[in-house]
Amino acid sequence: MSEEDGHTDGGIEARLDEQDVFEPPASFVEQANVTDEGIYEEFEENWPDAWERAAELIEWEEPWDRILDDSNEPFYEWFVDGKLNASYNCVDRHLDERAEEVAIEWVGEPGESRTYTYEELHREVTEFAAALYELGVGEDDVVAMYMPMIPELPIAMLACARIGAPHAVVFAGFSPDALADRMNAGDSSYLVTCDGYYRRGDPLNHIEKARSGVEKVDQDVTSVVVDRLGDERAVDLGPDEHDYDTLVQEQAGATVEPVTRDAEDMLFLMYTSGTTGEPKGVKHTTGGYLAYAAWTSHAVLDLKPEDTYWCSADIGWITGHSYIVYGPLALGTTTLMYEGTPDYPDNDRFWEICDEYDVDVFYTAPTAIRAFMKWGPEYPAAHDLSSLRLLGSVGEPINPRAWLWYYEHIGGEECPIVDTWWQTETGGMMITTLPGINDMKPGSAGPPLPGIGADVVDPSGDPVGADRAGHLVVNRPWPGMLRTLYRNDERFLEEYWREYSKSERDQWVYFPEDGAKIDADGYITVLGRVDDVINVSGHRLGTMEIESAIVGVPGVAEAAVVGGDHELKGEAVYVYLITEDGQEETDAFRDEIVAAVDEGIGPIARPEEVIFTPELPKTRSGKIMRRLLEDIASGKELGDTSTLRNPEIVGEIAEQIGGADE
């Protein structure tokens, strides 16, 4: 930032030069849930039995026989033969002591709000569970959900969990095609959606997107439609569409006992981007996932029943599943949901909410933090943020400057920051500091959590040593881990597991496809993806899926999609395009490409730039050198091009982008 903006980065840069380690405040440590440094040693000495402490945070109908069954690695099973229900754990078991306490605070973008106590949440969940039964939903039926941040989404998730029907939530910003792909892959015959929602003050028509997607689903679909917009946009429902409110009213006072589920029964599917272009159905189970979400919420986010906690993610992503719904509610905490964006109606919207609801713990993405920095510290300074006790970061690495700005201007230098690395597949946090124990190093996520075996290795699987880059690997199973990819065990093995039989380990390791380095203290800094997935604002998007949407446009001969550095998003989508003979390279054609991505994937994947080129840089074997294209997009110095069969094209493309920027 410049001094003309009213604030300067000079102080921040100087502070980073002076200090690269920050201790948690003594006042925080005194009240933290986890403060004993011996927890790391305890997990090492008693692994895997030490994971009982996670399982003991939730309630079991029947105890487990074994903590871990590793007889069929890497198809691990946790809390073997234990029985429980996730909905009961998130709602029913709190009724004796917390019935009148708030479970969900919801803030709508136009300004309205709704509050659900645990007793009210129990009633809503039970009545909608009865409605699902009435529609024919049975145990193990996969129910798709295509909804924005409205309370009916977590209610529907918990209702499904109550009757043993796995849910598959599809991000509301995804396209109808993406919805259809995921419903077909999950063989979903039921959909819960809504008429629309608000974004930057405008009502968005969501039902037409949902209907368009349903038309492309192979099986017959029964839909439930939530009325979010009211009189703003009336919707006439079709014969296979049912009004949510009517269904719930018809089940008023209904009683639905939670279905007993085995620890290894599926709780939900979450589809995530893959390098092949076909989304992967990540399968999470009931016992291990719920225990892990609860334990990390307790140990890392330091959540307590009396807290008001806000994770600003969308429930359409795994962060919202684990740290808006299942983790906080399993602990009996008040979880806050917000429908809108951080800058509507003004740039202080988040801080206004933190102030009004006395938020104790705030968990957001570096993308948002970079935007807050750009807007300036005057916005948080206008509000009382003294209720904040802990700050968190999720979705992508946070750079040291953004970390320190967050620490100074949001936390007032009194709030520890947990910089958390994890994935859809891991179910919960894996690498981060424990805020009541560890010092913080801006830019470094921290050490692996107790019980998590993580390292940085070379291509042979051997540790690289301190401060050298390599591949991040997880070399022990953990309770929150995915069990497989839905109906595709082979792809599960191919994409995630490597057997380093020639190394000292001689074992299966989980490979998350991230590069990293580790320092002498065991703190891990994640460097970014090493596969063909772009991390846009913390959301993983497969390049193949985007390319598939583009090459379907008439006039496109070939396309390559890569990620390039972006000030706010972290990474942005860049498209390099070869047109067919006769196709004019015009701005109008660029607009067609952008529209195809919007329609095929959703606005979140919208290209930052579409670059026309007569050729793509390729090796002599015909492989596109994507790393060079990434360097061009990010304005980096170009590496060796001698292995290319057409090295001259690299300079031509770079000159074209440079010319466009001038």
Q: Which range, of 395-409, 439-453, 523-537, 576-590, averages the lowest pLDDT?
A: 523-537
The whole-angstrom separation of Cα 383 and Cα 385 is 6
Alpha helices in 285-410 (DSSP H): 286-299, 318-320, 327-330, 349-357, 366-375, 378-381, 400-405
The whole-angstrom separation of Cα 155 and Cα 77 is 28
Predicted confidence (pLDDT) per residue in 53-87, tens digit = 999 999 999 999 999 999 998 999 999 999 999 99
Residue 1 has pLDDT above 70, yes or no: no
pLDDT average, residue stretch 410-426:
96
| CATH architecture of the domain covering 533-661 | 2-Layer Sandwich (3.30)
Q: Are 331 and 99 in contact (CB under 8 A)?
A: no
Give rounded-to-5 percent helix, strand, coil for the chain.
35, 25, 40
More confident residue, 598 or 537: 598
Residue 10 has pLDDT above 80, yes or no: no
The pLDDT value recorded for residue 276 is 55
Residue 8 has pLDDT above 60, yes or no: no
User: Which is it for strands 514-518 and 524-529: parallel, antiparallel or unpaired?
Assistant: antiparallel
Q: What are phi and psi of 225, to 5 degrees?
A: -120, 120
**What is the separation of C-alpha 369 from the centre of its chain, rounded to a whole number of angstroms?**
16
- Total-model pTM: 0.84
Residue 126 has pLDDT above 60, yes or no: yes
Predicted confidence (pLDDT) per residue in 498-520, tens digit = 765 444 445 789 988 888 889 99
Residue 338 has pLDDT above 90, yes or no: yes
The token pair at 400 is 């040291």
The whole-angstrom separation of Cα 328 and Cα 158 is 13
The whole-angstrom separation of Cα 604 and Cα 317 is 13
The pLDDT value recorded for residue 6 is 35
Q: Are 166 and 160 in contact (CB under 8 A)?
A: yes
Q: Which of 242-251, 524-533, 599-608 has the highest mean pLDDT?
A: 242-251
More confident residue, 407 or 557: 407
The pLDDT value recorded for residue 443 is 87
Q: Where are the domains of the chain?
A: 533-661
Predicted confidence (pLDDT) per residue in 129-144, tens digit = 999 999 999 999 999 9
Task: Give the residue from 98, 105, 169, 158 showing the smallest Cα distance to 132.
Answer: 158
The pLDDT value recorded for residue 82 is 98
Residue with tokens 């307590």: 304
Tell me which amino acid residue 393 is: S
Residue 341: CA count within 13 A, CB half-sphere:
13
The pLDDT value recorded for residue 11 is 60
Percent of the chain residues past pLDDT 70, beyond the cut: 91
Residue 150 has pLDDT above 60, yes or no: yes
Residue 402 has pLDDT above 90, yes or no: no
Q: Are 624 and 617 in contact (CB under 8 A)?
A: yes
Residue 532 has pLDDT above 90, yes or no: no
Tell me which amino acid residue 350 is: F
Task: Give the residue from 418, 423, 523 showing the smallest Cα distance to 478.
Answer: 423
The pLDDT value recorded for residue 9 is 46
Read off the pLDDT band of 274 (50, 70, 90): low
The pLDDT value recorded for residue 111 is 87
The pLDDT value recorded for residue 660 is 40
Q: Are 85 and 162 in contact (CB under 8 A)?
A: yes
Q: Are 526 and 514 in contact (CB under 8 A)?
A: yes
More confident residue, 302 or 625: 302
The token pair at 625 is 């050198």
More confident residue, 165 or 397: 165
User: Which is it for strands 222-226 and 241-243: parallel, antiparallel or unpaired?
Assistant: parallel
The token pair at 47 is 């692994």
Task: Give the residue from 503, 482, 441, 378 showing the smallest Cα distance to 74.
Answer: 482
More confident residue, 235 or 540: 235
Q: What are phi and psi of 648, to 5 degrees?
A: -65, -25
Q: How many angstroms separate the Cα of 403 from the Cα of each of 202, 272, 300, 352, 595?
A: 33, 27, 17, 21, 35
SS3 at position 75? coil
The pLDDT value recorded for residue 544 is 67
CA-based R_g, the chain, Å: 24
CB neighbours of residue 643 within 10 Å: 13
The whole-angstrom separation of Cα 662 and Cα 657 is 9
Predicted confidence (pLDDT) per residue in 545-602, tens digit = 788 788 778 888 778 888 888 888 888 999 998 888 889 999 999 999 999 999 888 8
Average pLDDT, the chain: 90
Read off the pLDDT band of 640 (50, 70, 90): low
pLDDT average, residue stretch 304-332:
97
Q: Helix count (H) and strand count (E) of the chain?
A: 23, 32
Long-range residue pairs from 619-625, CB within 8 A, at least 24 positions apart, any chain:
619/643, 619/644, 619/645, 620/644, 620/645, 624/560
Predicted confidence (pLDDT) per residue in 203-224, tens digit = 999 999 999 999 999 999 999 9
Helix 587-600 × helix 543-551 angle, to 10°: 120
Q: Strand locations in 81-153, DSSP E?
A: 83-84, 102-107, 113-117, 143-147
Residue 477: CA count within 13 A, CB half-sphere:
24
The whole-angstrom separation of Cα 379 and Cα 347 is 7
DSSP state of 9: S
pLDDT average, residue stretch 304-313:
97
Predicted confidence (pLDDT) per residue in 175-192, tens digit = 999 999 999 999 999 999
The pLDDT value recorded for residue 267 is 98
SS3 at position 43? helix
The pLDDT value recorded for residue 503 is 42
pLDDT average, residue stretch 281-289:
97
Predicted confidence (pLDDT) per residue in 612-624, tens digit = 988 888 755 456 7
The token pair at 557 is 């001969």
Residue 361 has pLDDT above 50, yes or no: yes
